[in-house]
């Protein structure tokens, strides 16, 4: 090899080495930029999470303040303050079931796109509920936007068919008319135990000619047209029905709370503590109050940017503020909004925001609950849910753990705020402390609703928070008890306790 060839080879080798160094430098820079970008993404994600943690924080002192605000609003509502968010509706239920009721009673439970018809044979204190039967009926969509006559005729016809299937185990004494408890879970201005005018339709109903009318009269006329000899003796909403069903099974029940798609509470108030009550005081000395507590609002409630945006974009801005923080209709939507912020600001699910994550209410609370209860080490079930709901084929372990943490923050805040509301009711009744004689009188809260029943981390947190607020001694006498599906049979029991034949019996 000549000298020139050697030099040429050396030059080529040097060039190759330089190129290799250059490539290495470029690769190193790319890696550094990627690491810097990843570090920046993680920093942004951590910042969003920290901001949510602060906004959703519910220290015990705050919860006590919320409970005090609840008591204050309850008292304003009982005085008929027109500006009070809690209307504290008088239910006219002054006789809760005692267990002595006997006879055949029916109930009609209308609260949404389905209704249930129920019958029970009551055997008094010894035999209690001897037999019960029910049937669920779907309401055809066209009747939800039709006329009042069409809707109530359909309901009465189904009720008449159900009565015709009454077997020998059910017995109506000669000369007595069948009596019905009517659970009507729409806003009503109640005027007696068996009458009330509709304020407005909700839940997808838009029916002409019923607003301002007595819904019991509408149903009664429809039953007459069907030739059905039956009288409505109690008109109640689902929360009052749950309270009645709970009291029938446990005489220490003082309040009922529904935590499902929506939320509400009812409790037993001393009649002389209701300034707006104008009539004679009931013989029992008590009156059940339907709080409509979903509309509770206070500047003490920890309202975040996500809550404010949800409320602003809702069908009822400025209303049901408490419900929008604690009920099953909204918890999943709050989680979605937080995840969307993380996707936009911190690329939580990759460089492209999943289009489905932009859809309102695409993430439902049952899905949130399923993700929250994932105990697998790699959260594979949570990842599968994100894939099914948001269309993200592959999520990082970090994204799955952040999603789990967001579910935890939203569920915990909702449960703790709900516990503060219950604590407020107990304070109003003077049941937040042990009696001066230190007697161990039980205080029972009847709970119903799918959110409470099926979202175990929510219900466990609620009960632990309530115990913390009450303190060890008082908490030992307070019991939270599941009253599953109590509103229907509760209406039948209220028909019995307010029966026109009760005195004669």
Residue 203 annotated in active site: yes
- Name the DSSP class of 57: -
Nearest by Cα to 181 from 502, 503, 487, 504: 487
Is residue 348 within 8 A of residue 335, CB to CB? The reply is: no
Instruction: Write the DSSP symbol of residue 168.
Output: T
**Residue 84: phi, psi to the nearest 5?**
-75, 130
Rounded-to-integer distance, Cα 120 and Cα 493, Å: 9
- Which residues share a beta bridge with 90? 289
Residue 288 β-bridge partners: 268
Active site residue 3: no
Tokens of 180: 């019905």
Which residues, other chains included, contact 390 with Cβ-Cβ below 8 Å and sequence gap of 6+? 349, 354, 356, 357, 362, 363
CA 277 to chain CA centroid, nearest Å: 29
370 neighbors 386 (Cβ within 8 angstroms): no
**Of the residues 94, 109, 153, 238, which is catalytic?**
238
Reduced to 3 states (helix: H, G, I; strand: E, B; else coil), residue 31 is: helix
Residue whose C-alpha is closest to residue 92's, from 239, 194, 173: 194
d(CA 354, CA 344): 10
Q: Tokens 């607020």 identify what position?
A: 469
Structure tokens at 210: 């019923």
- Please answer whether residues 181 and 234 qualify as being in contact, where contact means their C-beta atoms are separated by less than 8 angstroms: yes
Angle CA 449–489–208, to nearest 5: 75
417 near 384, Cβ under 8 Å? Answer: no
* End-to-end Cα separation, the chain, in angstroms: 126
In angstroms, the CA 63 to CA 503 distance is: 45
d(CA 289, CA 291): 6
Burial class (CB in 10 A: 0-12, 13-18, 19+), 466: buried
Instruction: Please pick, among 203, 308, 387, 433, the residue that the annotation labels catalytic.
Output: 203
List 287's β-bridge partners, or say none.
269
Catalytic residues: 203, 238
């Amino acid at each position: 090899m000549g000298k020139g060839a050697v030099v040429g080879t050396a030059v080529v080798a040097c060039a190759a080495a330089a190129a290799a160094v250059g490539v290495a430098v470029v690769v190193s820079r790319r890696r550094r930029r990627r690491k810097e970008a990843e570090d920046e993404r993680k920093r942004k994600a951590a910042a969003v999470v920290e901001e949510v943690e602060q906004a959703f924080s519910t220290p015990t002192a705050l919860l006590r303040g919320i409970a005090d605000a609840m008591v204050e609003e309850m008292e304003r509502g009982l005085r008929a303050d027109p500006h009070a968010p809690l209307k504290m509706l008088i239910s006219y239920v002054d006789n809760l079931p005692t267990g002595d009721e006997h006879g055949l009673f029916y109930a009609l439970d209308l609260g949404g796109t389905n209704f249930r018809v129920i019958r029970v044979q009551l055997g008094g204190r010894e035999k209690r509920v001897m037999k019960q039967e029910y049937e669920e009926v779907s309401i055809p969509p066209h009747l939800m936007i039709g006329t009042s006559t069409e809707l109530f005729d359909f309901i009465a016809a189904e009720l008449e068919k159900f009565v015709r299937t009454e077997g020998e185990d059910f017995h109506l004494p000669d000369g007595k008319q069948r009596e019905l408890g009517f659970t009507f879970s729409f806003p009503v201005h109640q005027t007696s135990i068996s009458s009330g005018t509709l304020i407005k339709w909700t839940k997808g109903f838009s029916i002409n000619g019923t607003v301002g009318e007595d819904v019991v009269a509408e149903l009664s006329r429809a039953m007459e047209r069907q030739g059905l000899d039956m009288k409505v003796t109690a008109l109640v909403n689902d929360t009052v029905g749950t309270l009645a069903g709970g009291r029938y099974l446990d005489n220490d029940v003082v309040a009922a709370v529904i935590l499902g798609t929506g939320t509400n509470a009812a409790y037993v108030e001393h009649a002389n503590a209701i300034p707006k009550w104008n009539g004679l005081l009931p013989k029992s000395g008590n009156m059940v109050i339907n709080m409509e507590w979903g509309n509770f609002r206070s500047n003490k409630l920890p309202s975040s940017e996500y809550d404010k945006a949800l409320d602003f974009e809702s069908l009822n801005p400025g209303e049901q503020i408490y419900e929008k923080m604690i009920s099953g209709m909204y918890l999943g939507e709050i989680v979605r909004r937080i995840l969307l912020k993380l996707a936009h600001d911190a690329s939580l699910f990759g460089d492209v925001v999943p289009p489905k994550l932009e859809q309102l209410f695409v993430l439902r609370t049952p899905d949130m609950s399923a993700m929250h209860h994932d105990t697998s080490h790699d959260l594979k079930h949570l990842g599968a849910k994100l894939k099914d709901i948001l269309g993200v084929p592959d999520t990082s372990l970090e994204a799955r753990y952040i999603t789990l943490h967001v579910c935890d923050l939203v569920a915990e805040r909702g449960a703790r705020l709900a516990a503060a509301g219950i604590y407020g009711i107990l304070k109003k009744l003077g049941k937040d402390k042990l009696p001066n004689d230190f007697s161990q009188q039980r205080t029972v809260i009847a709970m119903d609703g799918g959110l409470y029943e099926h979202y175990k981390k929510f219900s466990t947190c609620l009960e632990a928070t309530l115990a913390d607020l009450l303190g060890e001694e008082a908490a030992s006498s307070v019991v939270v008890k599941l009253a599953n599906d109590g509103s229907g049979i509760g209406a039948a029991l209220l028909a019995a306790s307010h029966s026109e034949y009760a005195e004669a019996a």
